[in-house]
Chain A
């Protein structure tokens, strides 16, 4: 034993190197799965405030595009409101609704890494919680995995641990949407039943089976589907409807029924 310590002391450079690498890898191992990142993600207001100061400067360059997007979204939302409700501005929060929407601004975002995270300027003070769904005006964005007082971190669709339950709009078949870490515009549709042939342009929407997203939110459209593999389930390429590279404004979805649904599920599992 004494010799071992003596050896380690003589090679303290190498020993320290090994120790520091082990610490780093232990820290890193918290990002190995969706559930681990959910448990261990720590967001700090400090990094958030640095990023939002920076974003406050750069956002002026995008005002034009931002306005156009908001106008387009307003038009789309107006078309959804039945004529009777014309003039009702607080529709997003009316009491019967199953979901509430918290608008937020992106302060930091990446699309080129194998695992991309988005930070937005809303935290638990604004009612944000872990595992809330996130959408943009054009489609699905991701899931909240970390919350601090004023900021939260979102696991973007562009992350290897994300798996969204979706549905093929034309025939209601269930599928899953994942990302293969290469192109930020393209996702992968997995688990397509073998008798289904997808056409380019078919819409893929959320299934509503998860407790996170309401159903029928657009995820993207089918890009191509090659059915060469003889297995039971095939894969297809999906073009995301959200442009992750130009993401500025998002909505965090609060599900008012999630608590009840979760307690029901845990009753069954007991």
Chain B
């Protein structure tokens, strides 16, 4: 169990650093800004207490906000993602048995399963993020367009990261 905790802390630090130092400075095509730190929430153990999941989500978002000077923005979106996570897992993978401390990762869900899981949750997160960020419905089509493209991009990056790290563990 302490191994699990350390694992998650290391993952948290690495993902936050990657987000604020690399991905926040990446703007592909001018307007695409992948959020990969949500992978931390996606990979938390399945048997984590729901309330704890929300609180962890809140502070994860707040850590990113701390660096981007947008207090509350990422926190709101990440809490929303954490709120939907248990429901989505039940909906998509209701018949899967999770062991203690086992996370809904690549090994458990398979590549397509994990992609589906990540896609839906990241879409929810990005939609909240971009709507709150623009704070207006003036550019609603533009915001939706950004949301869709960024969701696809974030999912791909998340999938690549997961594929790389899972392969290393197997070896």
Contact = CB atoms under 8 A, between A and B. Distances in A.
With most chain B CB atoms within 10 A of its CB, the pick from A47, A181, A182 is: A181
Given A54-B21, A113-B33, A21 B70 contact: no
A233 interface: no
Contacts of B31: 112
Interface in B29-57: 30-33, 50-51, 54-55, 57
B72 A28 contact: yes
A21 B21 contact: no
B66 A44 contact: yes
A47 B135 contact: no
Interface of A: 12-13, 16-17, 20-21, 23-32, 41-44, 47, 50-51, 54, 110-115, 117, 119, 146, 153, 160, 180-184
B72 A25 contact: yes
A20 B138 CA distance: 27
Contact of B79 (A20, A44, A110, A119): A20
B132 interface: yes
16 contacts: A12-B51, A16-B54, A21-B80, A24-B58, A24-B72, A24-B79, A26-B72, A28-B70, A32-B135, A44-B66, A50-B67, A112-B32, A114-B139, A119-B69, A153-B69, A183-B30
B20 A27 contact: no
Given A17-B54, A27-B71, 7 more contacts: A24-B72, A24-B75, A110-B24, A110-B25, A114-B133, A115-B133, A160-B135
Interface residues of B, number: 38
Interface of B: 20-21, 24-25, 27, 30-33, 50-51, 54-55, 57-58, 61, 65-73, 75-76, 79-80, 83, 132-136, 138-139, 142
A32 B72 CA distance: 12
Nearest to B80: A21
